Structures are given as structure tokens and as C-alpha cells.
Chains A and B, each alone.
Chain A
Amino acid sequence: MSEDTPKRSSLAIWLPLALFGAFFVLVIWGLYRPADREVVSAFVGKPLPQFNLPAATAERPGLSTAEMITGKPRLLNVFASWCVPCAAEAPQLEALRQRGVEIDGVAIRDRREDLDRFLGNYGNPFARIGKDDLSEVQVGIGSSGVPETFVIDGKGVIRYQHLGEIRPEDVALILRKLQEAQS
């Protein structure tokens, strides 16, 4: 039992350093990648699921899948009166409506009196507003927060998902996506 152990192959000795190098490259990339913390819907490109929501407010009818298949692209806005950015995007939605875009709303976990106050304060650009107290439609289309806006084409297929509020600079993008959805 002497100590003249044979030298191990040099490759194995450098393995830890190589692994560390790989780790280093990975985390450097991770540190400097653009911040992407949103959960994107995997449902873009698929037809809307079947749903039929009751009206969330007295002024507008409820919302069902059949009513959204009109042969013309439209927007589906997932929002709530208790959501601060939803108020911030109201002017943009109004601007889109004035350009002739039809917008349907899904009110998430909302009470009628809160919703009425919200629509009174910030305007009501919606053609229909469905009441989604159990987040059924929200989960059904893969939305993970409010507000989110989906472009639905004439056949009821989801073509685009906009995460977070629509800012003034996003309006052109939304219009382009609606245009693309026409073809």
C-alpha cells in the first residue's frame, strides 16, 4: 500500500473548472438579459374557449364566445375596477374605440357598484362587459393578471396578447396587430 497512486487523467481534473465556467456564463447572461418577468399566454394562436358571461353592469350586455366571432377583428380587454393601471389605460382604450375598434371587456372579480363608479370616472369604451368572478375566462385564455388585452380575429382566434396597460405609444402597435388579424 504505497503512495505511488497513478496520476488521474488531466481531463477529469479540469472538469470542475469547466462546469464553473458554464455556470459563470449562464448567470452573466441571466444578470444582463432583458427583464422578462411576465407570464406570457401560451394560448395565442388558438381559438377562444367556450364561455358565456353574464353582464357585469346594467349599461352593457354580457359576453359570450359566439358574440365575439363577428368576422371582424376586435379587442378583448381583461380589467378590473380595483386595478390601478386599468384606469391609466382608459384613455388609450377610448382612443382605440374612436378609431372604430370594437372592444369587449372582462371584469375580473368586480362588484357592480365599484365597476359603475370606475366606468363613470374613466369612461366606458366597451361594447360588452362580461362578469368573471371566478377568473374562469381569465384562466381560460391564459391571462395571469390585469390589465391584459387580446386581439381576437374574425374567426374568434386569439392573435396577440398585450401584457400590462396600453400606454399611448402602444396604440399604434395594437392597431397594427388588429390590421394583421384581418388578413
Chain B
Amino acid sequence: MKRLILALMLLFAAPVVAQDQLPPAPLAYKQLDDPAQEAKAQRLMETLRCLKCQSQSIADSDAPMAGDMRHQVRTRIAAGEDPEAIRAWLIERYGDYVSYAPQNKPIMWPLFAAPLVFLLIAALLLRGRFRRVKVKEDTA
């Protein structure tokens, strides 16, 4: 989508922002040997926000910092750490902003309640209609 335009514009702007010359972190572009662990890491990385690019997950960014964060995630997963513990660790440092998965906190409750509220409103609006129809048919 237009996000691509963004990507292009960022590329266009790239020479202005200096980049480092170091090779990427060892596990930035290297998968874990254990497929189960790699899948776990991948799932987590897809839900962590790249702080440099603002609108991409670290799983699909070429920014060096995203690579470093992927390295961190893979290292910790390989060490047996739980994905949610890693998420919590990052949230402790960057706040909820870093996680695309909304956390269970009071400020997010309205968001979780929203689908229920929508269904409730729909039910309230429709209830009268169908019920009355039924009554009419019964009396008819």
C-alpha cells in the first residue's frame, strides 16, 4: 500500500542519515537451528515494533537496530526464555509502545471490550424489530 511509498521515501532519504558500517549481529539474519524455537522467535518478532522505523515489526525491517533486537530475541529464545518474558523485558524498557500485542492493562480494556459493545449495540437495535415481527405473525 502507500506504506511502500514510505519505504521508498525512506530509502530516498537514506543517504542523509548516516548508517553504520558494521556487519549485522550474528543472529539478525540467521535462524535458530531448532525449528520449534525459531518459530517461537519468529512469532514474537512479528509482534515487536521496530523503534527506528516506527511502523514496521522488527521481523520485517532492515534497520540495524531491528537486526540487533532480532539477535537479542533469538539469543534469549535459544537460552530457553519464554517469549512473553522477553516481551515483558522489552516493555519494561520501552513501554507498551514496543509491543504490537495490546497488553492487559486498564487503558487497553476499552479496546478489548469494543467487539462485545458492538455486538450488544447491534443486538439492542435489532431486538425490537424481530421481536415485533414475531408478535405480529403470531397474532396474525
The 8 tightest CB contacts between A and B, nearest first, are: A142-B93, A135-B68, A144-B51, A109-B20, A42-B95, A82-B18, A109-B22, A134-B25
| A12 in the interface (beta carbon within 8 A) | yes
Mask, A26-49, CB within 8 Å of B = 1, is 000000000001011111001000
A157 neighbours in B (Cβ, 8 Å): none
User: Interface size (B, Cβ < 8 Å)?
Assistant: 28
B128 neighbours in A (Cβ, 8 Å): 6, 8
| A83 in the interface (beta carbon within 8 A) | yes
Shortest Cβ gap from A137 to chain B (Å):
11
A71 neighbours in B (Cβ, 8 Å): none
| A80 in the interface (beta carbon within 8 A) | yes
CB < 8 Å A-B pair total = 72
Q: Which residues on A are within 8 Å of B, measured CB to CB?
A: 1, 6, 8, 12, 37, 39-43, 46, 80, 82-84, 108-111, 114, 133-136, 138-142, 144-145
Asked if A108 meets B94 with Cβ closer than 8 Å, knowing A12-B125, A134-B25, A145-B52, the reply is: no
B132 neighbours in A (Cβ, 8 Å): 6
Q: Which residues on B are within 8 Å of A, measured CB to CB?
A: 17-22, 25, 51-52, 54, 64-65, 68-69, 71-72, 90-95, 97-98, 125, 128, 132, 136
